[in-house]
Chains A and B, each alone.
Chain A
């Protein structure tokens, strides 16, 4: 197992490097003058050359990249040009917001999808199953930002139960933090829940048809034990695969929801930075996301080994 993990880690390096090179290239290829993007519509045009110099844009491309690479290997990811904030600490300070949003979203998704999926699988074609299907199709079809706006309207404006925007850090006030995260996490989780429900249902239905399930039942095991202790674990493998893929979807969903709910997270940072040509920030954020995707894939693969003893890594 250890050698497997080591080999995977080594294989990561060229992947990450390639991602950074492609990002670098794409940002440079974007049309328009980054200096104009930086200083905006109302600023004095004489600033442009100075800005370009300060951003290092007058240097040859390969030098710009190797400069960045060299410095980032030492932990210096440059500065966000407009605000002069160092990129590394900036990203780190915003990471918890997106992480919390993602984790809460996943939790909400799991809390909805597992019970609904299981119940649908046990009573196929019942009213519950049909409700589950409708819910799943709606959840996939509805854009999560629209759902988010509706929730703000209902829970914040009409009912007044929750705040419409804003983020309170977890360590400042646990209760307020949860209140500020409930709506965006729910909006994010609904779409995921829909997908996971379907996956859980179909996977469990498949497993329940297996011979070992019949064998367990005929041995006299309580139905609850059959489902929860035996069938479910095995049906989770495809669900776990989907979960791994959902991580990238979650990042995407976070971008829109962070903007709608005014959460200072990584997704919003990424979009703003691309629009305003903050090269350093974009490089840093994409690097982080690439690492997140690569490591989560590795984690999911290791999880398989735990879930299914037939899978062994050498």
Chain B
């Protein structure tokens, strides 16, 4: 060792004193210990094994066990049916709650899935529900006609922040005929009620639990469902576990369902690919091609009830002019946007009702892309050289691309669109609360019954009617009201389609396309995709095979 060597020179010549050796070994040991942490695996969700490569699902009998893990972008707005407000809560609600009348995957009410064995309409103002016997809520209390009555009273209580009140305006009272028979007495005929009961409105909560928790019931749901609520850690996860006393024998098949709250869709997709999730609902369009060709994941799709649309303020210029609205509707090449920007995962729309509703008319044309007609309408409307308006849109990459494509297409006929890109909820909030702006671009999630869709968007008591942004068309409202009172399904379907055709003709909204429901999952997961486009994981709806 030369005199005057500094520390670094010494290191290079690798002459260590014993103290230095001990110190270095300690550091190396620490690094090795750290690296070994990377090795300790142990995720507790099943990894898709290399062997399970086949995509063809053999029709084996359902098997017991396993956990379904899927994701949600944000917290559920509420864990119970009446006071929750989000359109994506139902996937949770249908695990913990059953419906008075439930519908099947084709949106047809079916007794097999319902808390009612049967129901009838002795006259237009009466519904009688014959309830199943011996069903208990998760807290041990009995489900019976008194419970149905209590649920109704909770749903229409003026002090309760009830989101289903509008669905029940026609119901005057609910009477207990006997232990297992409940009678709904209506103030006016209400045919859609049976289908509506398949959603929030018909979900039955334990009256004892509602009384016990009061306003906090929104965090402590108690139903009759296939799963019981375990816990919610906000922004992290929600878990439900199998109800061993479920009234449907052998159901549910899986032991547990967990929703992980993951805001970023790409990160969630990674989770599906690495096995953290075994189910992903509403996958991004850009992933479809890869998932379809992958043998590690299974892809399912189905037409749903969602409709993407431009909401218009038809109460003031420019859209208080019918020709101007129609011009915009003609100016948009829906099929091209669906193909190029949405990766072909949507179908051009000619109706406000999506194909998932059984009342859907596949022949409904609406106003499709026709620049010549757009120009004609502009001239007829007194704006031959076009006009300008502002459109709000959510600040997600796909929506912005869609909005820019629409803007470019509209510009070709002289319509100038001023885009305002905003985060949720700002992009719709101003429009709804203060009638700000001329329009906004968004998805409508659809409803179990078309009456709800038509009333919600065009009706005088709907969100937009109340907001003062929707022109209250007497003829249209008349049709909607008449349909509501028509019990004959075929006649009602005809009326729905007539109302829809009128709404499209008047271009009260510009209906763009129907996004299909896109689902990716571990190949061992078995489920059906329902027409409503929402995950149904309760009852016997999902199981994990081999």
Q: Which of A5-58 contact B (CB under 8 A)?
A: 31-33, 35-48, 50-51, 54
CA of A51 to CA of B85 in the docked complex: distance in angstroms? 12
What are 6 A-B contacts defined by CB distance under 8 Å? A31-B426, A83-B218, A157-B270, A259-B264, A261-B267, A262-B235
- Shortest C-beta distance, B199 to chain A (Å), equals 11
CB within 8 Å of A: which residues of B? 6-8, 37-38, 40, 42-43, 74-75, 77-78, 85-87, 159, 161-166, 215-216, 218-219, 233-236, 260-264, 266-268, 270-271, 273-274, 276, 423-426, 428-430, 432-434, 436, 442, 445, 462-463, 466-467
Number of A-B contacts (CB under 8 A): 161
A122 B8 Cβ-Cβ under 8 A: yes
Given contacts A84-B215, A149-B266, 16 further A-B contacts (CB under 8 A): A32-B429, A40-B86, A41-B425, A41-B442, A42-B445, A43-B85, A43-B163, A44-B166, A45-B462, A54-B161, A83-B75, A83-B218, A160-B274, A166-B271, A264-B235, A272-B235
- Shortest C-beta distance, A210 to chain B (Å), equals 18
Question: What residues of chain A lie closer than 8 Å to B8, measured between beta carbons?
Answer: 122, 223
A275 B426 Cβ-Cβ under 8 A: yes
Interface residues on A, range: 35 or more
B274 A45 Cβ-Cβ under 8 A: no
B273 A157 Cβ-Cβ under 8 A: yes
- Shortest C-beta distance, A105 to chain B (Å), equals 16
Q: Which residue of chain A has the shortest Cβ distance to B423 in the bound complex?
A: A275
A39 B85 Cβ-Cβ under 8 A: yes
Q: A33-B434, A264-B233 are in contact. Are A47 and B267 (CB under 8 A)?
A: no
Partner among A38, A175, A223 whose Cβ is within 8 Å of the Cβ of B7: A223
Determine if A176 is an interface residue (Cβ-Cβ < 8 Å).
yes
Question: What residues of chain A lie closer than 8 Å to B87, measured between beta carbons?
Answer: 40-42
CA of A54 to CA of B160 in the docked complex: distance in angstroms? 10
CA of A48 to CA of B434 in the docked complex: distance in angstroms? 13
A31 B77 Cβ-Cβ under 8 A: no
A260 B264 Cβ-Cβ under 8 A: yes
Partner among A175, A260, A264 whose Cβ is within 8 Å of the Cβ of B267: A260
- Shortest C-beta distance, A37 to chain B (Å), equals 5
Question: What residues of chain A lie closer than 8 Å to B267, measured between beta carbons?
Answer: 149, 152, 164-165, 260-262
Q: A82-B77, A223-B7, A264-B235 are in contact. Are A259 and B276 (CB under 8 A)?
A: no
A164 B163 Cβ-Cβ under 8 A: no
Question: What residues of chain B lie closer than 8 Å to A199, measured between beta carbons?
Answer: none
Partner among A31, A42, A163, A264 whose Cβ is within 8 Å of the Cβ of B234: A264
Question: What residues of chain B lie closer than 8 Å to A165, measured between beta carbons?
Answer: 260, 262, 267-268, 270-271, 276
CA of A36 to CA of B430 in the docked complex: distance in angstroms? 9
Partner among B40, B261, B429 whose Cβ is within 8 Å of the Cβ of A33: B429
Question: What residues of chain A lie closer than 8 Å to B38, measured between beta carbons?
Answer: 161-162, 179
Determine if A90 is an interface residue (Cβ-Cβ < 8 Å).
yes
Partner among A156, A261, A268 whose Cβ is within 8 Å of the Cβ of B274: A156
- Shortest C-beta distance, A34 to chain B (Å), equals 9
Q: A41-B442, A224-B7 are in contact. Are A47 and B161 (CB under 8 A)?
A: yes
Determine if A269 is an interface residue (Cβ-Cβ < 8 Å).
yes
Question: What residues of chain B lie closer than 8 Å to A223, measured between beta carbons?
Answer: 6-8
Partner among B6, B42, B463 whose Cβ is within 8 Å of the Cβ of A45: B463
Q: A54-B161, A84-B216, A166-B260 are in contact. Are A269 and B424 (CB under 8 A)?
A: no
B271 A41 Cβ-Cβ under 8 A: no
Q: Which of A69-121 contact B (CB under 8 A)?
A: 82-85, 90, 94
B236 A46 Cβ-Cβ under 8 A: no
- Shortest C-beta distance, B342 to chain A (Å), equals 20
Q: A32-B430, A165-B271, A275-B424 are in contact. Are A222 and B6 (CB under 8 A)?
A: yes
Give the interface centre of B43, B85, B235 by most chain A CB atoms within 10 Å: B235
Closest 10 CB pairs of A and B: A33-B433, A223-B6, A224-B7, A32-B429, A43-B85, A264-B235, A262-B262, A45-B466, A164-B270, A264-B236
Determine if A167 is an interface residue (Cβ-Cβ < 8 Å).
yes
CA of A54 to CA of B158 in the docked complex: distance in angstroms? 13
CA of A314 to CA of B222 in the docked complex: distance in angstroms? 62
Q: Which residue of chain A has the shortest Cβ distance to B425 in the bound complex?
A: A37
CA of A259 to CA of B261 in the docked complex: distance in angstroms? 10
Determine if A291 is an interface residue (Cβ-Cβ < 8 Å).
no
Question: What residues of chain B lie closer than 8 Å to A44, measured between beta carbons?
Answer: 162-166, 463
- Shortest C-beta distance, B161 to chain A (Å), equals 5
Question: What residues of chain B lie closer than 8 Å to A152, measured between beta carbons?
Answer: 267, 270
Question: What residues of chain A lie closer than 8 Å to B165, measured between beta carbons?
Answer: 44, 46
CA of A43 to CA of B429 in the docked complex: distance in angstroms? 12
B161 A51 Cβ-Cβ under 8 A: yes
A36 B219 Cβ-Cβ under 8 A: no
Give the interface centre of B42, B85, B166 by most chain A CB atoms within 10 Å: B85
- Shortest C-beta distance, A310 to chain B (Å), equals 28
B430 A167 Cβ-Cβ under 8 A: no
- Over the window 163-186 of chain A, the binary record of Cβ atoms lying under 8 Å from chain B Cβ atoms (1 yes, 0 no) is 111110000000110110000000
B234 A85 Cβ-Cβ under 8 A: yes
A156 B425 Cβ-Cβ under 8 A: no
Question: What residues of chain B lie closer than 8 Å to A50, measured between beta carbons?
Answer: 159, 161
Question: What residues of chain B lie closer than 8 Å to A261, measured between beta carbons?
Answer: 267
CA of A157 to CA of B436 in the docked complex: distance in angstroms? 44
Determine if A303 is an interface residue (Cβ-Cβ < 8 Å).
no
Q: A83-B219, A85-B234 are in contact. Are A40 and B425 (CB under 8 A)?
A: yes
- Shortest C-beta distance, A156 to chain B (Å), equals 6
CA of A223 to CA of B270 in the docked complex: distance in angstroms? 49
CA of A85 to CA of B235 in the docked complex: distance in angstroms? 13
A82 B78 Cβ-Cβ under 8 A: yes
Give the interface centre of A84, A85, A122, A222 by most chain B CB atoms within 10 Å: A84
Question: What residues of chain A lie closer than 8 Å to B234, measured between beta carbons?
Answer: 83, 85, 90, 264
Q: Which of A223-243 contact B (CB under 8 A)?
A: 223-224
Partner among A156, A175, A224 whose Cβ is within 8 Å of the Cβ of B270: A156
B425 A275 Cβ-Cβ under 8 A: yes
A179 B425 Cβ-Cβ under 8 A: no
B276 A32 Cβ-Cβ under 8 A: no
Q: Which residue of chain A has the shortest Cβ distance to B463 in the bound complex?
A: A45
CA of A33 to CA of B43 in the docked complex: distance in angstroms? 43
A268 B37 Cβ-Cβ under 8 A: no
Question: What residues of chain B lie closer than 8 Å to A307, measured between beta carbons?
Answer: none
B274 A262 Cβ-Cβ under 8 A: no
Q: Which residue of chain A has the shortest Cβ distance to B262 in the bound complex?
A: A262
Partner among A160, A161, A164 whose Cβ is within 8 Å of the Cβ of B271: A164
CA of A237 to CA of B61 in the docked complex: distance in angstroms? 70
A176 B42 Cβ-Cβ under 8 A: yes
Question: What residues of chain B lie closer than 8 Å to A51, measured between beta carbons?
Answer: 161
Determine if A130 is an interface residue (Cβ-Cβ < 8 Å).
no
CA of A39 to CA of B261 in the docked complex: distance in angstroms? 19
- Shortest C-beta distance, B288 to chain A (Å), equals 18
- Over the window 273-312 of chain A, the binary record of Cβ atoms lying under 8 Å from chain B Cβ atoms (1 yes, 0 no) is 0011000000000000000000000000000000000000
Q: A160-B274, A176-B42 are in contact. Are A45 and B161 (CB under 8 A)?
A: no
- Shortest C-beta distance, B311 to chain A (Å), equals 10
- Shortest C-beta distance, A84 to chain B (Å), equals 5
CA of A43 to CA of B216 in the docked complex: distance in angstroms? 19
Question: What residues of chain B lie closer than 8 Å to A260, measured between beta carbons?
Answer: 263-264, 267
CA of A45 to CA of B428 in the docked complex: distance in angstroms? 13
Determine if A153 is an interface residue (Cβ-Cβ < 8 Å).
yes
Q: Which residue of chain A has the shortest Cβ distance to B427 in the bound complex?
A: A41
A262 B428 Cβ-Cβ under 8 A: no
